[in-house]
Amino acid sequence: MLHYYKLFWINALNIKGRSRRKEYWYPFLMTVIISVIASILNDVLPVPHILAEIIYWVFNIATIVATFTVMVRRLHDIGMSMLLPLIIHLTPLVFLLTGSIITLINPQMNFSVGSSLVLIAGSLLYLVVSIIVLVICCTEGHKDENKYGINPKTS
């Protein structure tokens, strides 16, 4: 498991090639474990709040980038492009920026039924796409070479 977590960080900026399921899921598990341990330590140890926030954000941003690239390589293993990882990673950013801009323009704005329905529909669509990507990431990759490279199990 540590081997795959190391590969996760070594290839954090690499979107070329293919990654097997273990290269995607073991780092996911390690990130959850590290986050739980860090949360417990943050509650137990007298760490200044600002330092904890900085560590939290640096780790999360780095993890988001590395997760995006390993997801791209994972989908390459199945023969798919990087479109779904782009949707998965950019959708929350678009919602955040849109909400921030709307709040800056009109801080007293009350959401109408229409805008609430759009937000709910967008959230449901995001959930569906996330579940599809989850299922795809569990799928076994192509056994032979594809346009993204050789089978990572044989290399």
Q: Is residue 145 part of a domain?
A: no
Q: Is residue 143 part of a domain?
A: no
Q: Which pTM does this prediction carry?
A: 0.80
Amino acid at 108: Q
The listed range with the strongest mean pLDDT (15-19, 46-50, 120-124) is 15-19
Is the pLDDT at 69 greater than 80? The verdict is yes
Q: Is residue 148 part of a domain?
A: no
- Taken in order 102, 103, 106, 111, is the CA torsion positive or negative? positive
Q: Is residue 147 part of a domain?
A: no
Is the pLDDT at 104 greater than 90? The verdict is no
Q: What share of the chain is helix, strand, coil (3-state, %, to 5)?
A: 70, 0, 25
Residue 80 DSSP one-character state = -
DSSP for 5-57 reads HHHHHHTTT--SS---HHHHHHHHHHHHHHHHHHHHHHHHS---HHHHHHHHH
Q: Is residue 69 part of a domain?
A: yes
Q: Is residue 50 part of a domain?
A: yes
Using one digit for the tens of pLDDT, what is the confidence trace for 131-144? 888 898 899 998 99
For the chain, the domain total comes to 1
Q: Is residue 108 part of a domain?
A: yes
Q: Is residue 153 part of a domain?
A: no
Look up the domain containing 119 and give its range: 2-138
Residue 149 DSSP one-character state = B
